[in-house]
Every structure is written in C-alpha cells, then in structure tokens.
A = this chain, B = another copy of it.
Amino acid sequence: MSDELPAWEKAREEFVAQWGSLGTQWGINRTMAMIHALLMTSPEPMCTDEVMEKLQISRGNAHTNLKDLVGWNLVRIITKKGDRKEYFEAEKDVWKIFITISKERKRREIEPAIRLLRDCAAQTKDETTGPGRDFHQQMKDLDEFLSFGVKVGDTVISMKHASALQWAMRLLG
C-alpha cells in the first residue's frame, strides 16, 4: 500500500479510526461515525466510491450510512453540473454541528422519554397514598426535569454562536 501519505493524512486516519470507536460509545454505529469524521476533514466533497475506497467498505454499507448522515442533517448532497454522481459534504462549523445533533437527539431520545413519563403519570394520577403516589411523583419529577431541559436547550440552540458564547462566559465569569 502507499506510504506516500502527507503527514496530515496520517493524523487524519487516526482521527477517523478513533472517532469511529468513540462513536460506538455514543450509541452511533462505527461506520457512520467514521464517514462523518472523514467528510468533516475532507477538503472536497466525496462521492460514494471515494468513501468506499478510503474506508475499505462495501457500496451498500457506504450508501446506507451516507444516507443516514444526510437524515441526521450532518451531511448534504452536492451535485456537480455535467456529472451525474452525487457528492457528499459534511457541515464543518462546530456550532452548527452541535445544533444539528442537539435537535436530532431531542427528537429521537428526549421527546419519546417525555411521552412515556407523561403516560405513566397520567395512569397513576388518582393514586394518593403510599408507593402509588410516590411513583406518580417520580414520573412527574422526571417529566418536569426533562421538559425544562428541553426548554433551556431550545433557547440555546436558537442563539447565534456569538450570543451563546457571551452568555456562557457570563456564567463562567
């Protein structure tokens, strides 16, 4: 294989591989995390074949994960005129990545949890004594906490990066 890689590409390969491992801990599939890392550090949009080649994965796998990343709004499809191929480009702005991921996680992970908690609270709203009442209260506490968190999160992700920074600095200062 080619050892003629520029120095930065060596670092990039480490980054891609390790980001993949970290991804699994975050509940994200390894390949998807690797493709994301690859695209985030790509000077140019890449096509499916380039991704396959770089990561040594099959077309089906590359395809699925690229589309998943597009579904997460972390990657967008670029088409060049006079070229039928689709190219993929990752958002590189850290603040925008953060906002996108926050929104998706809210939708996929927090909102279903809140629905569950409300449902369980509703089912037990007539419990006024003993363990039944405690359970009801626990559901309400969890709901209240998550809902409040969502509200705070919504405020933050609606902010411009600069305002968010300023606000955070005030908290720290």
Contact = CB atoms under 8 A, between A and B. Distances in A.
Interface of A: 6-8, 10-12, 14-15, 18-19, 22, 24-28, 40-41, 43, 92, 94-95, 98, 108-109, 112-113, 116-117, 119-120, 123-124, 126-127, 130-132, 134-136, 138-139, 141-142, 144-145, 148, 151-152, 155-156, 165, 167-168, 171-172
Given A22-B113, A43-B131, A148-B168, 4 more contacts: A8-B132, A22-B109, A41-B138, A156-B171
A20 to B, nearest CB: 11
B152 A18 contact: no
Contacts of A171: 152, 155-156, 167
A13 to B, nearest CB: 10
Contacts of A28: 27
Contacts of A11: 120, 123-124, 135, 139
A79 B144 CA distance: 32
Contact of A8 (B8, B127, B165): B127
